[in-house]
Amino acid sequence: MSSSSSSRVAVVTGANKGIGYAIVKQLADPNLGLQVVLTSRDESRGKQAVAALAAEGLDVLYHPLDITKEPSIDALANWLKDRFQGLDILVNNAGMAYRGDAFNYEVAKNTIDCNYFGTLAVTQKLSPLLREGARVVNVSSRAGKFSRLSPSLREIMFRPDLTISQLSDLMNDFVQSVKEGTWEQKGWPKQTYAVSKMGVTIMTRIFARDEHRPNILYNACCPGYVRTDMTNPNAPLSPEQGAKTPVYLALLPQGGATGGFFADQRQWDITKEL
Ligand SMILES: NC(=O)c1ccc[n+]([C@@H]2O[C@H](COP(=O)([O-])OP(=O)(O)OC[C@H]3O[C@@H](n4cnc5c(N)ncnc54)[C@H](OP(=O)(O)O)[C@@H]3O)[C@@H](O)[C@H]2O)c1
């Protein structure tokens, strides 16, 4: 096993299946010389995925990670610190969506907790480990259309000085407004998944703005509409095709974009195009 402490290390969350699994497979290409760590919330599903990759000759390590559980994130951070003394690529891919148009307090709370607060907690806990040249990729979605917000919420979301704490307050306000039935009058759309991904996209901009160490780039992306358990078999893209933009961002050269949103192999102006 080539898990030497001198390898550049890449961690992918929610990687036992779907787009995350395809991202791991592409990053584990021996020509890239990366030590990839596949993580999943369910240990047996994750280990099965690692075994499937090993059967194809790909050397991938496994570590459990539930992005909604703080002790689980701490355990991964400590393991990375002990074993590799740092981290070079973090792909925040783990996410969830309820089927159909389910919309109630429980749906809102669980979706925002996982997609927004889970991604935030992983990034905050692993960020101190990022080495010079590190890349953070947040798998967001074009479903997170800011045009679905009221003009005043849009204006707040796009404020250049918005902080993580203010953004988290907005996400909590959304969940609370669903509980109280006031979401519409407060300017939110009836789409929890979309709101959670707006949070991920804006979070990425804030991390990029506040990062002062050299050559560490944060970008968000939409993988496209991909055939996975989250969607349906008629979606046009394979998981391998969906992995292309996240992998491209994970391997961005020095001087590449930071704080951007990418889809279809290009950067989007989220204030005008989403
Ligand atoms: N498919 C699309 O068309 C599409 C479009 C835009 C964006 N996305 C985004 O792409 C990412 C991957 O989605 P996918 O389509 O590949 O869906 P998927 O096949 O359902 O995979 C989602 C992955 O996230 C994991 N996960 C869920 N909750 C987690 C938690 N609390 N902690 C750790 N892992 C967790 C799942 O684990 P389990 O197997 O244990 O459930 C699974 O490994 C998501 O962020 C999704 O929102 C997908």
The reported pLDDT for the residue numbered 6 is 62
Each residue's pLDDT tens digit, 131-181: 999 999 999 999 999 999 999 999 999 999 999 999 999 999 999 999 999
Mind telling me the catalytic residues?
Answer: 193
Question: Average pLDDT in the 85-106 region?
Answer: 96
**Six token digits for residue 211:** 């990062």
Give 168 or 3, the one with higher predicted confidence: 168
**Six token digits for residue 52:** 């499937």
Q: Is the pLDDT of residue 1 over 60?
A: no
Beta strands, E only, the chain = 8-12, 34-40, 60-64, 87-92, 130-139, 217-221, 260-263, 266-268
Atom 33, ligand 1: residue with shortest CA distance: 66
The reported pLDDT for the residue numbered 3 is 47
Q: Is the pLDDT of residue 182 over 90?
A: yes
Mean model confidence pLDDT for the chain: 96
Q: Which of 65, 67, 123, 228 most suits a substitution to test ligand 1, by most atoms within 8 Å of the C-beta?
A: 228
CA distance 141 to 138: 10
Q: Is the pLDDT of residue 252 over 80?
A: yes
Domains of the chain: 8-99+118-145+194-273 (3.40.50.720)
The reported pLDDT for the residue numbered 208 is 98
Furthest CA-CA distance within the chain = 57
Atom of ligand 1 nearest to the CA of 237: 3
Q: Which residues sit with their C-beta closer than 6 Å to ligand 1?
A: 13-14, 16-20, 40-42, 45, 65-68, 93-96, 114, 118, 139, 141, 222-223, 225-226, 228-231, 235
Question: Average pLDDT in the 117-125 region?
Answer: 98
The reported pLDDT for the residue numbered 7 is 84
Each residue's pLDDT tens digit, 36-68: 999 999 999 999 999 999 999 999 999 999 999
- Token pair 């355990």 is found at 75
CA distance 42 to 166: 32
